[in-house]
Structure 1
Amino acid sequence: MAGAERSDQQPKSIADFDPQKKPKRNKYAFACAILASMTSILLGYDIGVMSGAAIFIKEDLKISDVQVEILVGILNIYSLVGSAAARRTSDWIGRRYTIVLAAAIFFAGALLMGFSTNYAFLMVGRFVAGIGVGYALMIAPVYTAEVSPASTRGFLTSFPEVFINGGILLGYVSNFALSKLSLRLGWRMMLGIGAIPSVFLGLVILFMPESPRWLVMQGRLGDAKKVLDKTSDSKEEALLRLADIKEAAGICPECNDDVISVQSKGNRGEGVWKELLIRPTLAVRHILIAGVGIHFFQQASGIDAVVLYSPRIFEKAGITSSNQMLLATIAVGLVKTISILVATFFLDRIGRRPLLLSSVGGMIVSLTTLGFSLTIIDHSHKKLTWAVGLAITTVMSFVAFFSIGLGPITWVYSSEIFPLKLRAQGTSMGVAINRLTSGVISTTFISLYKAMTIGGSFFLFAGIASVAWLFFYMCLPETQGRNLEDMEGIFGNLNWLRDSKAAKKRAAADRSNGDSSRASNVQLVGGG
């Protein structure tokens, strides 16, 4: 009888120890995420190309350093108009056509900048391009998060940051390639050529499906189910996602008609601001603080100062040749792009929190060392090769640490934590803070380092990054693997950090007990 019991248990024991197969990556969701995220290349290209073009614009148009600051950084302020308008537009005409609109507006802005005859004309072009960038920044991560299955949402939602970095690299390469043209033509070609990718983007995005969450909010459940079937890892997950979205949108679970009535208040976002800002629940308040805070600290830690003014930083470090400065900026772009590609593969494996805290910790060390090396160079009467090398190395390490964690996770985290009916408004608030902070940093950096030295400015950024690390540690819970509709459940608990540590200890104890039980069962099976 003992032998019979062992034989009965054997198949069960072996099945228990078989490793679970991971679902295959959904190629359709992957393609949708790539197409939507490609709109972010518009911002990246503008950031990269303006860092080098500003050198030639200053010489050609005979403008001051203050005017250069305003020219470089004002696009971020203008993008606030676009991100604010995108919230309403995306709820009105849908996520997909909002992306098309973003590409069209940026196309017009790039042409205006390319044909600029003076500083005022150039600023008009910056305004139009800024609106397009604001649209793209707000809608790309929202669409990607809404179309992605939970298993790969972090991977797919990091794509906007990937394409921002790719755009920055293209802008740097464009600077170097077109710098040999005449002074009058070179910078205009650098800026105007940005119209080409926007045409391509506007066309290919028409082949994308609409966001299933937007379709549900319109009452188009049949269309939403078709999209979910294609973008989920299984039919069961598609049905579960549809049920969750219907519940979040206030639609009864039994409703399955192709078109149903949805209250216009929830549909158009009217009254949502009251729920988000005036009378938020504890969970929504926590989400809002986390979403806005991560956007603020992403820019306040100085990334745009480094990326937009890298030629000036390298000049302060002792590189005087224009060609060498532009080549050094290309190296920055390469490091940034490679780092973000590495990060995309760890977001859904390591988790948001560990990657974010490690990233910001590395940024603090890099900024402190950069400030130290630039201060030494500034106070030395002769060229110190070791200090120059250290400054260049720490610029590279700073952008690498930023791109591995804080860069992509900001967009992933903020796009996935807001409840469905607050998502467009909450995300647009985060983008607004992001662009406003970036605008302040980029329009004041030259004045800042003139007032407190170039080294002192990076010590300031290191201090801000230290505050950011504490904020992330205390306020941002892990969201890896959670459904978008479940996010409110992990926010609002003031003791979440203590509870999560206790949960980890219990999980470790359970694993330890499971390993002991597994060993006993294996011995039992082997004995049979």
Structure 2
Amino acid sequence: MAGGGIAPSPGGGKAYPGNLTLYVIVTCVVAAMGGLIFGYDIGISGGVTSMDSFLMRFFPSVYHKEKLDANTNQYCKFDSVTLTLFTSSLYLAALASSIVASTVTRKLGRKLSMLFGGILFCAGALINGFAQNVAMLIVGRILLGFGIGFANQSVPLYLSEMAPYKYRGALNIGFQLSITVGILVANVLNYGFAKIEGGWGWRLSLGGAMVPALIIILGSLLLPETPNSLIERGKRDEARAKLVRIRGISDVDEEFHDLVAASEASQKVEHPWRNLLQKKYRPHLVMAVLIPFFQQLTGINVIMFYAPVLFKTLGFASDASLMSAVITGVVNVVATWVSIYGVDKWGRRFLFLEGGSQMFICQIVVAICIGVKFGVTGVAAEIEKWFASLVVLFICVYVAGFAWSWGPLGWLVPSEIFPLEIRSAAQSINVSVNMIFTFLIAQVFLSMLCHMKFGLFLFFAFFVVVMSVFIYFFLPETKNIPIEEMMYVWRNHWFWSKYVTDDDLPANGRSAMEMQAAGEKKV
């Protein structure tokens, strides 16, 4: 609607017309299933490493340590560099592949990046399912990591670009919902496969990763490409037709022209990686690094990777530890729906801060419970049912807090704040930082538990406080802001306005006089 017919958005840019069409909903649901591969792997790893048959075959030293007498230090009985390398090697591979995925996503499209991710993940699942030694396990894990690197690079971007800005939060969180569903399915399968006589159920758990891989492969072949990507690759007529279908209206001229202008600006950028260092992109770079960094230091992957191992360490029987992991998986899925409902209603900041407070309290309580029961020696008498139930309860409340805050928003916010000219490079940094700290936490967690004991939970609680303070002061609200108009958010922020000037605002945005007339206040 040329000529001023576009309503202002809360951030100072434009509010493009359009509907939430069935086509967009179905497309985003299918694309979001790319999160299944990430979630399935997170859930399957901890369950498999708690199965006696798996430990006996590949990590006999851990198995024998676990089966020692009751005086064994509970904090240290799973401490094994090789065992943690089995889990964490995937994330180092994902870190490496995310750099390549950035170029593929930008030059060949979001769909092809998803396809590569599915194929690589499927190959890794096959190798792990038929593994005969630790080397095969590690090779399989590396291929799984390559797949996750491509999927995590492309899926959040795809969802943010396809969704109408008013519903972008809810639709993008579908990615996190798929991650939680993948975790839950993996936990349930682990619980069932562990009961198979003959001790080969772990093969079904690891090989079962082929199913979510095939889903993303099929989805990538059926999905349309995003208008942003089509314009970026010179297919403007196809992009306009796609935008008409996505928005459900015929008059998409204003949004289309703005996307073209953003693409033309991005084409002038010869070095998107170097461009990220420009002063006007300082807030984007900081968020691309600190949000995924903080997401891993919530301690969530300690729970999700090693939930069965952790519960077993706390004295739960093998079946009970797997069932506890299933319970936390259910909580994770249900709580994610809270975020889907509230993210575009209550805003990103509210969920971040509420979830942080909830996680902090639960980590303190869990630390106290474990400290009282095991002390610093790690030796405890029989674990009473009420104690076990209390630990599980507060871990579930902690998981719920993460699932409607740092879990989905850690992927949503970075994917929606980047201008097109730096989008692929910045998302690659986001994924890389996420993967490197996921790798580090996974690799050192069991050793940290052995040395820091119950203080490990206080360690993560401290970082939850730090990240909540960061969100309160430095993250502006981004709900209901079109992606290409996001620069207004930073320009109106008390701190980031030092870096983003009026000259950095979109040339086709509203004038200062129009903004003043709208009575907008700084964030």
Cα distance in 2 for partners of 1:190, 1:388 equals 26
2:36 aligned to 29, 35, 41, which one? 41
2:325 aligned to 314, 319, 329, which one? 329
Report deviation, 1:29.
1.3
Cα distance in 2 for partners of 1:182, 1:66 equals 29
Other-structure match for 2:45: 50
Moved more, 330-339 or 60-69: 60-69
For the 8 Å contact 1:106–1:131, the answer to whether it is kept is yes
Report deviation, 1:313.
2.3
2:359 aligned to 358, 363, 372, which one? 363
Alignment of 1:415-434 (within 5 A): 415-434=415-434
Alignment of 1:401-412 (within 5 A): 401-412=401-412
Alignment of 1:252-267 (within 5 A): 263=267, 266=269
1:425 and 1:63, CA in 2 relative to 1: closer, same or farther beyond 3 A?
A: farther
Alignment of 1:427-446 (within 5 A): 427-446=427-446
For the 8 Å contact 1:149–1:233, the answer to whether it is kept is no
Report deviation, 1:200.
3.2
For the 8 Å contact 1:285–1:492, the answer to whether it is kept is no
Report deviation, 1:416.
0.5
Matched, 1:299 2:304: no
Cα distance in 2 for partners of 1:325, 1:224 equals 50
1:498 and 1:218, CA in 2 relative to 1: closer, same or farther beyond 3 A?
A: closer
For the 8 Å contact 1:351–1:478, the answer to whether it is kept is yes
Other-structure match for 1:285: 282
Report deviation, 1:184.
4.8
For the 8 Å contact 1:77–1:439, the answer to whether it is kept is yes
Other-structure match for 2:350: 354
Task: Report runs of 4+ in structure 1 exceeding 6 Å deviation.
Answer: none
How many residues are matched? Answer: 463
Other-structure match for 1:86: 101
Cα distance in 1 for partners of 2:382, 2:129 equals 41
Larger radius of gyration: 1
For the 8 Å contact 1:291–1:413, the answer to whether it is kept is no
Cα distance in 2 for partners of 1:274, 1:498 equals 21
**What amino acid is aligned across from residue 55 of structure 2 in structure 1?**
K
Report deviation, 1:421.
1.1
2:57 aligned to 54, 57, 60, which one? 60
Moved more, 57-66 or 466-475: 57-66
Cα distance in 1 for partners of 2:155, 2:200 equals 33
1:82 and 1:63, CA in 2 relative to 1: closer, same or farther beyond 3 A?
A: farther
**What amino acid is aligned across from residue 318 of structure 2 in structure 1?**
S
Other-structure match for 1:73: 88
Cα distance in 2 for partners of 1:497, 1:274 equals 20
Cα deviation code 1:84-123 (max 9, x no counterpart): 1110011121111111111111010100111110001110
For the 8 Å contact 2:356–2:405, the answer to whether it is kept is yes
Report deviation, 1:334.
0.3
Cα distance in 2 for partners of 1:292, 1:160 equals 20
Report deviation, 1:378.
0.7
Matched, 1:118 2:133: yes
Please give the TM-score of this superposition, normalised by the length of structure 1.
0.83
Report deviation, 1:25.
2.9
For the 8 Å contact 2:414–2:427, the answer to whether it is kept is yes
Cα distance in 2 for partners of 1:233, 1:294 equals 34
Please give the TM-score of this superposition, normalised by the length of structure 2.
0.84
Cα deviation code 1:122-173 (max 9, x no counterpart): 1011011110011111110001111111111011111111100000001101
Other-structure match for 2:20: 25
For the 8 Å contact 1:113–1:192, the answer to whether it is kept is yes
Cα deviation code 1:466-505 (max 9, x no counterpart): 1010111111100111010111221155615999xxxxxx
Matched, 1:309 2:323: no
Alignment of 1:149-160 (within 5 A): 149-160=164-175
Other-structure match for 1:100: 115
Cα distance in 1 for partners of 2:196, 2:385 equals 32
Other-structure match for 1:216: 231
Cα distance in 1 for partners of 2:149, 2:363 equals 28
For the 8 Å contact 1:286–1:492, the answer to whether it is kept is no
Cα distance in 2 for partners of 1:498, 1:287 equals 13
Matched, 1:203 2:218: yes
Report deviation, 1:74.
1.8
1:497 and 1:433, CA in 2 relative to 1: closer, same or farther beyond 3 A?
A: closer
Other-structure match for 2:148: 133
Moved more, 473-482 or 49-58: 49-58
Report deviation, 1:291.
2.5
Cα distance in 1 for partners of 2:244, 2:341 equals 24
Report deviation, 1:290.
1.7
Matched, 1:186 2:186: no
Cα distance in 1 for partners of 2:216, 2:496 equals 42
Cα distance in 2 for partners of 1:274, 1:493 equals 25
1:165 aligned to 169, 173, 180, which one? 180
Cα deviation code 1:214-239 (max 9, x no counterpart): 11112211111111112225444x32
1:433 and 1:497, CA in 2 relative to 1: closer, same or farther beyond 3 A?
A: closer
Cα distance in 2 for partners of 1:376, 1:346 equals 37
For the 8 Å contact 2:31–2:219, the answer to whether it is kept is no
Cα distance in 2 for partners of 1:433, 1:125 equals 22
Cα distance in 2 for partners of 1:234, 1:467 equals 45
**What amino acid is aligned across from residue 421 of structure 1 in structure 2?**
E
Q: Per residue, is there more helix in 1 or in 2? A: 1
Cα root mean square deviation, aligned: 2.4
1:386 and 1:180, CA in 2 relative to 1: closer, same or farther beyond 3 A?
A: closer
Is there any run of 5+ residues in structure 2 with no aligned partner, and where? Answer: 1-16, 63-79, 499-515
For the 8 Å contact 2:48–2:202, the answer to whether it is kept is yes
1:246 aligned to 251, 257, 260, which one? 260
Report deviation, 1:415.
0.3
Cα distance in 1 for partners of 2:262, 2:125 equals 40
Cα distance in 2 for partners of 1:467, 1:339 equals 23
Cα deviation code 1:67-86 (max 9, x no counterpart): 11111122111111221111
For the 8 Å contact 1:137–1:431, the answer to whether it is kept is yes
Report deviation, 1:386.
4.1
For the 8 Å contact 1:43–1:164, the answer to whether it is kept is yes
For the 8 Å contact 1:290–1:475, the answer to whether it is kept is no
Cα distance in 1 for partners of 2:198, 2:301 equals 26
Partner SS for 1:219: coil
Report deviation, 1:383.
3.6
**What amino acid is aligned across from residue 253 of structure 2 in structure 1?**
L
